[in-house]
Amino acid sequence: MRLPLDPRYATLGLIDGIIIALGLGARVILSARVPSGVGNIVLDAGIFAAITNLVTSIFTELHQTRAELLDVERKMVISERGRLFGTALYRAGQLRALNRALSFSLTAFAGASIPLLPVIFLQGEPFFGLLVPLLSLFILGFYLGRKGAGNPVLWGVAMVLAGALVTVVGRIFPA
């Protein structure tokens, strides 16, 4: 059975990966020369984002699924406590939690490469190293806004500001 990526969690994973890489790679992104270890920074940021997002999201999603199912159980007035946890409904909830966690984790890994790949391919052009991830954050924020989070332009700008702030902090306090 193939699990499609959950769009909301995939978007959040991309945003998180981009922001983590902006913070960890700010010194490289803003410099005019590419150090020899930039590939390691891309890999480190991707692995860091993927692992932290996998661990945190799987636990929070499983907790949320359990809480929702307990609520359903109470509403259905099932007398035997815990009976619902062996049902197909519970297994579907677990599968949904796993899908969301994997979506979040895998796209965070991919998102972490967005700020640093332009630096590798466009050496000596720090402008593009910053423009590409900030434009990506705007597009992702705009998407979230369109999907019901609120004003798309406001969300896009907020994501750009978050990315810019993390870049400044990463430059001042390099990893």
In this predicted structure, what is the pLDDT of residue 77? 53
Q: What is the pLDDT of residues 150-164, one digit of tens each?
A: 899 999 999 999 999
Residues in the chain, overall count: 175
Q: Determine phi and psi for 114, rounding to 5 degrees.
A: -60, -45
Evaluate whether residue 95 is within a structural domain.
yes
What domain range is 160 assigned to? 7-172
In this predicted structure, what is the pLDDT of residue 79? 47
Evaluate whether residue 82 is within a structural domain.
yes
Evaluate whether residue 1 is within a structural domain.
no
* Least confident span in 40-44, 73-77, 127-131, 153-157: 73-77
In this predicted structure, what is the pLDDT of residue 49? 80
Evaluate whether residue 78 is within a structural domain.
yes
Q: What does the H/E/C string look like for 124-155?
A: CCHHHHHHHHHHHHHHHHHHHHHHHHCCHHHH
Evaluate whether residue 100 is within a structural domain.
yes
Range ranked top by mean pLDDT from 16-25, 54-63, 64-73, 79-88: 16-25
Neighbours of 80 (CB within 10 A): 7
CA-nearest of 49, 162, 57 to 116 is 49
Residue with tokens 């423009």: 131
In this predicted structure, what is the pLDDT of residue 3? 58
Evaluate whether residue 53 is within a structural domain.
yes
Report the number of distinct structural domains present in the chain.
Answer: 1
Mean pLDDT of the chain, nearest integer: 78
Confidence of residue 135 (pLDDT cuts 50, 70, 90): very high
Evaluate whether residue 2 is within a structural domain.
no
Evaluate whether residue 96 is within a structural domain.
yes
